Amino acid sequence: MPPVTHSKKYSPSKSSIWTRCALSTLLNQGDESYGDAAIFGTQCHELGQKLIEKALGITNYDEEVKDIEEVKKGLDHYDDDMESIANSYADSVVKLFEFYKSISFEKPLIFIEQHIDTDFDESSGGTLDLGLYSDADGGTIVVEDLKTGRKPVSAKDLERGGPNSQLGIYALYFYESVIKDLYPVKNVRLIIHQPLIGNNNEYSMSLEELLKFKEEILIPAVLKTKVSNLEAKAGAHCEYCVGRHVCRTYHETNQKIGEEISKPIDQFTDEEIEAIIPKLDAFIKYAEDLKEYATKKAQEGHKWKGYKLVPSKVTRKITNEEKVKEILENNGISPLNPGKLLGITEITKKLGKEKFKELISPYVELVESSLILVPESDPRNEAVINKPQEENNHAN
């Protein structure tokens, strides 16, 4: 199942970009193909949801009732990591619910995978992983977000202070569209649960601070995207902007960093090094992007002068294990170790090079891994690109 589609332009998950750079809303609204990581994440959430519903005895009338094992069978990215992430998330939610149940007058309300509409653009909205309301402490909203990647995420915006904008938007509109007219609220608690890297952190604030986030950060950022000349502001957030390959501001910002560091390293003062360290990750990312772009163009058939594509690694693979097993047995060699066919190096050792060539080679193929760009002088053979050579529009 692909991830649920909301407006990409004002996606809460991209809000750390568009609340800082208005131009990004223009560049981040196009079609985006969903990679394995996004599909894995969506399926972790689906499994987590089912585990929570089962543990808390929640009936989901919107969906067909399925046994957990049946749900897992339908997840084509299911693996041990997904099992452990979904279980850890479900445990954390159940504990959270039990905690608030123990300190509330009324049973807490819980919302899982709840669609949340926002009011700053008709197509904007998102899916809240978990929203909870408790009447404890004069009314408390809790928003928990499951992260399935490896890059650490903080519930607090470490650059400008205040809430992480994605969680802030979820909490704000959970409050405004679901809770506000029914119950009093004083406190807001935002939780990041990222079990893959053991990162659990949270940020607590008053309702006033959440409303201030709306007034001072969110709405001014949205207004900046509704003018004809969209302003570009580069920073660490550019790393996640799909438009960075074509963005002039991104290029110019990195060009300036390149100029700042273009002198022998031992001539830098401590102050200069301290000023440049925070910019280096972004600069390295820029250089990696450029290399990735050049490699991708070469794979599409473009020829870069002085460079060629070669496989990063070539490995040998047995194509017919049953046949190789039979040959080894016929030659008095036990083919398995332990329970698995011997590796190619081991078979060569046992049979001898000549016999290996004669008997086993017909069942061995060379597998090339991904292609990398290297100088023409590299001794490896150039990879054959099947795609047609692009037209050379730069002649003369």
User: Interface with ligand SF4 by CB under 6 A: which residues?
Assistant: 17, 21, 23-24, 27, 232-234, 237-238, 241, 243-244, 247, 249-250
Nearer to ligand SF4, 17 or 373 (CB): 17
Enter the tokens of residue 122: 């008709």
Residue 107 Cβ vs ligand SF4, minimum distance, rounded to whole Å: 44
Nearer to ligand SF4, 180 or 233 (CB): 233
Nearer to ligand SF4, 26 or 196 (CB): 26
Residue 244 Cβ vs ligand SF4, minimum distance, rounded to whole Å: 4
Enter the tokens of residue 381: 């053979």
Nearer to ligand SF4, 31 or 271 (CB): 31
Identify the CA nearest to 225 among candidates 24, 379, 85, 15: 24
Identify the CA nearest to 167 among candidates 197, 183, 147, 186: 147
Which residues fall within 8 angstroms of residue 160, CB to CB, at 6 or more apart? 217
How far apart (Å, rounded) are the C-alpha atoms in residues 191 and 213? Answer: 17
Residue 236 Cβ vs ligand SF4, minimum distance, rounded to whole Å: 9
Which residue stretches of 200-320 are H helix? 207-213, 219-224, 248-260, 270-299
Residue 245 Cβ vs ligand SF4, minimum distance, rounded to whole Å: 8
Determine the residue type at 46. E
Whether 17 and 221 have beta carbons less than 8 Å apart is answered as no
Half-sphere exposure of 241 (CA within 13 A, CB side): 31
Residue 249 Cβ vs ligand SF4, minimum distance, rounded to whole Å: 4
How far apart (Å, rounded) are the C-alpha atoms in residues 337 and 256? Answer: 58
Alpha carbon distances (Å) from 204 to 187, 217, 283:
7, 18, 33
Nearer to ligand SF4, 40 or 250 (CB): 250
Nearer to ligand SF4, 251 or 355 (CB): 251
Nearer to ligand SF4, 134 or 253 (CB): 253
Residue 56 Cβ vs ligand SF4, minimum distance, rounded to whole Å: 40
Residue 53 Cβ vs ligand SF4, minimum distance, rounded to whole Å: 38
Nearer to ligand SF4, 179 or 234 (CB): 234
Q: What is the CA radius of gyration of the chain?
A: 28
- Which position has the token pair 């580069």? 234
Residue 240 Cβ vs ligand SF4, minimum distance, rounded to whole Å: 8
- The terminus-to-terminus CA distance of the chain in angstroms comes to 50
